[in-house]
Amino acid sequence: MKLSSDEIERYSRQIVLRGVGGPGQNKLKAARVMAIGAGGLGSPLLQYLAGAGVGEIAIVDDDRVSLSNLHRQVLHSTGDIGRLKVDSAQEALARLNPYVQVEKIVKRLDEANARALVASYDVVVDGSDNFATRYAVSDACFFERRPLVSAAIGEFDGSLTMLKPYERNREGAPNPTYRCLFPEAPPPGTVPACAEAGVLGALGGVLGSLMALEVIREIVGGFGDGDLGLLGRLLLVDARAMRFETLTYAWDENNPLSGRGAPGALTL
């Protein structure tokens, strides 16, 4: 894809980066990204993807803007209360960058529709707020061979990782799945919802921005030799102590997707 003179000026501070350049900017323009959720994580994520020049962004969300959203979901404003988040998000992104095409998908992603939804996108980003969606989208991305950036926040803590379990690592072992990291969802009621426990608004900004960074890294092809980002690593953010830690995790041979004897293992 050819960048217009206006786009070259718009992205000039990014194009001059050695790890991006003109070729990387063209990759961003040609990319199709699906973002699940236009809330606390999706708000900064979507703004930075649009600002970076990602050509097509699909937003999957069936929720409406409420007053209690606004302290963290900064893509929306007071005047948007009651509107579908995808409508508010599309208008905000159009104001930010008219060169970005936004597709609105007003539905909840679940096991029945996940594979069909993710199949036509280059990168999938999960900023959902429930375990059912996280497992559904991670399983779908495994079977459809789509890279997945997944993050979560709660109270004062957040986490982020990159998943490409349909590939092997440098040692020849399969990359881990989401189910290698979290084999099962916690029992209902053990993890309080945001409405019950609360969440620090700015924390969504931190994790959502880092999600965008991982997506851009994946599209551009990394920012240096051997750059794998958060593949096989889980970034943990503790806002109380202002501490960032990174844990490594690996393929679990007993996981139900790509473990030994699992149907998906035949595709690796």
Backbone dihedral region for residue 66 (phi beyond 0: left; psi -120 to 50: alpha; all else: beta): beta
Decide: residue 61, CB within 10 A, 0-12 exposed, 13-18 middle, 19+ buried.
buried
User: Which listed residue (194, 236, 265, 268) is catalytic?
Assistant: 194
User: What is the three-class DSSP state of 186?
Assistant: coil
CB neighbour list of residue 151: distance below 8 Å, 6 or more residues apart: 41, 126, 127, 158, 159, 160, 161, 207, 208, 210, 211
DSSP string, 187-227: PTTSS--HHHH-B-HHHHHHHHHHHHHHHHHHHHT-SSTT-
Rounded CA separation 57/55 (Å): 7
Please name the helix (run of DSSP H) or strand (run of DSSP E) that holds residue 246, with its range, or none: strand 243-248
| 3-state secondary structure (DSSP) of residue 103 | strand
**In this structure, is the dihedral angle defined by the CA atoms of residues 134, 110, 27 and 172, taken in order, positive or negative?**
positive
Q: Quick one: DSSP state of residue 55?
A: S
Which residues have C-beta within 8 Å of that of residue 200, sequence separation ≥ 6? Answer: 72, 155, 156, 239
Write out the two tokens for 174. 């399969």
Q: Is 194 a catalytic residue?
A: yes
Query: So which residues are the catalytic ones?
Result: 194
